[in-house]
Every structure is written in structure tokens, then in C-alpha cells.
Amino acid sequence: MAAGRSLSRSERKAAARAEFLRQEEQRERRRQVSRILRKPAAERSADEAMLLSGCQEMVRDLERLRKKRERLRRRLEEVCDEPDELKRKVSKLSAVVRGAKHLIVYTGAGISTAASIPDYRGPNGVWTMLQKGRSIRATDLSEAEPTLTHMSIACLHKHKLVKHVVSQNCDGLHLRSGLPREALSELHGNMYIEVCTSCIPNREYVRVFDVTERTALHRHQTGRLCHKCGAQLRDTIVHFGEKGILQQPLNWEAATEAASKADVILCLGSSLKVLKKYPHLWCMSKPPRHRPKLYIVNLQWTPKDDLAALKLHGKCDDVMKLLMDELELPIPSYDRMKDPIFSLAVPLQPEEECSHSRKPVTPPASLHEVQLGEEQQMRPDPPSGGWFGRGCAKGTKRKKNS
Ligand SMILES: [Zn+2]
């Protein structure tokens, strides 16, 4: 066709059709090549081998994609170090813990799996299940108790070996292990704390039950009122898809301050996929050699693995048990009698007694427990809400409907 002449309508149509056919042919060729590549080289016919050598660029492209898929699959796999290797690594870690000037700990759902709370991105984690379109059963989380890892961290803090803990978990188990509140930043909230944001400073109410049964994404009111000013209380949870706005219990300032002083960061049971998005926690503004040394304990790959001084593939409780042995510190066992939640909790007023249906944490084997058990049976069906992945489930549903 002559340059400068615009195409007629039928010419444009013919060109579009030719382009469509060319693309279709290309797609079919790609499918063919991909099929052949899946066969072992020895089983390919002469014709197939010729076809491959005729589209080398496509072969390279498909190989690259296959490797990428393989890499992503491997990242999700849970890997365990051999016992001897894990021991060697923990021995190195214990020297680091002893020598650190300002050690801080970052924790994720992996430290609570031993307390029967599912993790987030593990094979049966909350996120993984929701990704597969499966629903999550609300397990009774008030039954959960601090794990060996929680107790070890509290003990390390008591011995001044750990300065601060930053947790993504909302299960309240760090607090219940006896770790003082000022040493803890709960980035995504705490299921046992509700807050009055009308009172200045914000008034906190620690409860002995999950306060989030009515709350969800962008819906934070718990249904109870502030004893002081009468305003609606809200949960402290950063639901999936939200940003945290509260001072406490998020304690964000303390987290960034601790990070700025840290020479060692120990990450326990977190995929770090969310934490990596907070550059302050990693001192990314400092030159690399002035950033804290990273030690990561996780079964799966994390995006910080390449930057870690040491990566330990093991269950948190196994690693912490070995670590505390090395440090010759006995791990305190959890004692419900001494659970700080009972002294921190603000009791409900008589008219609020029926304002929740979640099973409370109770002191062991008391008459109180028997009475509460009976009361529980008489309560109507509980509303279905809460921090435990529900915000996420609701968000997904809403998306589908719109
Ligand atoms: Zn108030």
C-alpha cells in the first residue's frame, strides 16, 4: 500500500483479521511447544524436536516461566533443618543473643500454632485457605494459652536479653505470657482489648473474652459503651485491608524506636510478607552495614532470607527450647493463675454481662468456671464476626457481589 494513504474500511478489517489469525496461530504454537517441553527429551519425536529448534525464543520464554512457577512453589514449601544442623545454628544464635546490645524480636502467627491457632500463610493457614476459597472455622481461641515460645520471650525480656517485641498477632498471648505492655507493640491489635477513642487519652478496656465478635472490616464497634463518657467502644484490630490508627495497643512509636536502636532482630514464625512493608522496622534508611543483623526462624521462605545473617528452618518452639538450653535459662511454664489478663481486665457491669457470647478466659477450676459454663449454654446463637480472618472473608464476598 502507498505510504501516506489511509486504509479503507475493508482493508482495516482484513488487517485486523490477519492480525487475529496470526496471534491465534502463535497461541496454538505456544500450547504445542509447551506440551512438547513437558515430555522428557528422550521421548520427543524428530518432528517435535525440529519444532522446538524452530522456536527457540518461545522455548526460552516458557522455560523461564516454568522456573518462576517452580520457585514460587518452593517458597510455599515448609522446610525443616536436620536436627544436628538446627542445633549448630541455634548454638550460633545463642552467642548472638548473649552478645547483642539491643535485641528485638518480631513475631508472627507461626509462634502460636502450638497453641492451636492456625498460622497465616502455612499450608493450612488463614490466608492460604481463603485464597483457595475455603472458609475458616472459628476455633475457640480463648482456649489458647501462651506457647513455649511466648514464655521463652517473656523470660528473655526479664533477663534483659530482649528489649522489645513487635508482633503481628492479635491473639493476646504475648501479654498473657507476662511480657510487660511497654515492651510490646501489637501492630494488628489485641483481641482482648477494646478502646474508647472519645476519651483523651484513649481509654482502654482489657477484657477476659474476645471483644471482636461483632466487628469486621471497617466496622469496629464492639457493642459496649465507655464507663466514663458513654461513647461506643471499638476493637483494636487492624482487619485485613485496613491500616492501624490507634496509639495503643499498636504502640507503633515504641516499635520504630526499638528498631532504630536495634543491633539484632530475631524474626520468629512470620512470613515477613506484611512486616517487610514497614521500612522503619528494618532501618532501611541506614546504610546496609549499619542495619541490624537479621536472624530468621521460619519453616517457609521469607522475602528477607537473602539479607539474613542466619536462617533457621525449624518450628519456633523447637528452636526456642534449644536456645534456652544453650543460654541455660529455664523456661517458665504458663500458669493460668498468674495470667496478667485477670489483673488487667476491667470487669463488665451487670447490664453488660450478656453483651458477648465468646467463652471467657477463666482462672483454673474455680466455681466461677462452672457457673460460667452453665450460663454459656443458655446464651443464644453467637453473632459471627471477629478478628480471626473474618474481615478478610467478608471483604472477598463483598467484592464478588459488586
Ligand atoms: Zn470514653
User: pLDDT-based confidence at 391, cuts 50/70/90?
Assistant: very low
Question: Catalytic pick from 188, 239, 313, 356?
Answer: 188
Question: What pTM did the predictor assign?
Answer: 0.79
Q: What is the pLDDT of residue 250?
A: 79
C-alpha cell at 81: 533443618
Does 199 show up as a binding residue in the annotation?
A: yes
Higher pLDDT, 213 or 40: 40
**Cα 19 to averaged position of ligand 1 atoms, centre (Å):** 67
**Rounded distance from Cα 334 to ligand 1 centre (Å):** 33
Cα 183 to ligand 1 centre (Å) = 25
Most confident of 45-54, 88-97, 241-250, 353-362: 88-97
Contact 394, 216 (CB under 8 A): yes
292: cis peptide before it, omega within 30°?
Answer: no
pLDDT for 342 beyond 90: yes
Q: How far is the CA of 198 from the centre of ligand 1 (A)?
A: 5
Answer yes or no: is 196 a known binding residue: yes
How far is Cα 10 from Cα 133, in angstroms, rounded to an integer?
47
CA of 227 to the centre of ligand 1 (A): 7
**pLDDT (0 to 100) of residue 251:** 86
The DSSP bridge pattern shows strands 221-225 and 232-235 to be antiparallel
Distance in Å, CA 253 to ligand 1 centroid: 23
Residue 376 has pLDDT above 60, yes or no: no
Contact 195, 248 (CB under 8 A): yes
| pLDDT bucket at 314, cuts 50 / 70 / 90 | very high
pLDDT tens, position by position, 169-185: 989 999 999 999 999 99
Please measure the distance between the N-terminal and C-terminal CA atoms of the chain and give it in whole angstroms.
48
Dihedrals φ, ψ of 105, to 5°?
-120, 135
Q: What would the mean pLDDT of 121-140 be, rounded to a whole number?
A: 62
The answer to whether residue 125 scores a pLDDT higher than 90 is no
In this prediction, residues 279-305 reach a mean pLDDT of 93
Q: Which candidate, 111, 181, 172, 117, places its Cα nearest to that of 321?
A: 111
C-alpha 216/C-alpha 386 separation (Å) is: 6
For residues 62 and 30, is the Cβ–Cβ distance under 8 A? yes
pLDDT of residue 310: 98
Angle between helices 56-76 and 46-54 (to 10 degrees): 90
Q: What is the mean pLDDT of the chain?
A: 85
Chain centroid, CA 52 distance in Å: 44
Residue 329 has pLDDT above 90, yes or no: yes
Q: With 60 as the cut, is the pLDDT of residue 42 above it? A: yes
Distance CA 303, CA 296 (A): 11
Per-residue confidence at 393, pLDDT binned at 50, 70, 90?
very low
| CB-neighbour burial class of residue 34 (10 A; exposed 0-12, middle 13-18, buried 19+) | middle
What residues are neighbours of ligand 1 (ion), with CB under 5 Å?
Answer: 196, 198-199, 203, 226, 228-229, 231
Give 145-171 pLDDT, tens digit per residue: 999 999 999 999 999 999 999 999 989
- Phi then psi for residue 161, to 5 deg, are -90, -25
* CA-based nearest residue to 386, from 345, 350, 359, 358: 358
Residue 366 confidence (pLDDT) above 90? no
Distance in Å, CA 348 to ligand 1 centroid: 15
Confidence tier at 134 by pLDDT (50, 70, 90): low
The tens digit of pLDDT for each residue in 59-98 reads: 999 999 999 999 999 888 999 999 999 999 999 999 999 9
Active site residue 157: no
224 Cα–ligand 1 center, Å: 11
Q: Summarize pLDDT for 214-267 with one digit per residue, the tens.
A: 888 888 899 999 999 999 999 998 887 777 667 666 788 899 999 999 999 999
What does the H/E/C string look like for the chain? CCCCCCCCHHHHHHHHHHHHHHHHHHHHHHHHHHHHHHCCHHHCCHHHHHHHHHCHHHHHHHHHHHHHHHHHHHHHCCCCCCHHHHHHHHHHHHHHHHHCCCEEEEECHHHCHHHCCCCCCCCCCHHHHHHCCCCCCCCCHHHCCCCHHHHHHHHHHHCCCCCEEEECCCCCHHHHCCCCHHHEEECCCCCCEEEECCCCCCEEEECCCCCCCCCECCECEEEEECCCCCCEEEECCCCCCCCCCCCCCCCHHHHHHHHHHCCEEEEECCCCCCHHHCHHHHCCCCCHHHCCEEEEECCCCCCCHHHCCEEECCCHHHHHHHHHHHCCCCCCCCCHHHCHHHHHCCCCCHHHCCCCCCCCCCCCCCHHHHHHHHHHHHCCCCCCCCCCCHHHHHHHHHHHHC
Phi and psi at residue 272, to the nearest 5°: 65, 10
Compute the distance from residue 129 Cα to the ligand 1 centre, in Å.
38
Distance 362 CA to ligand 1 centre (A): 27
Cβ pair 213, 235 in contact under 8 A: no
Residue 136 exposure: Cα atoms within 13 Å on the Cβ side: 27
Structure confidence at residue 389 as a pLDDT band (50, 70, 90): very low
Lowest-confidence pick of 99-103, 126-130, 314-318: 126-130
How high is the pLDDT of residue 380?
46
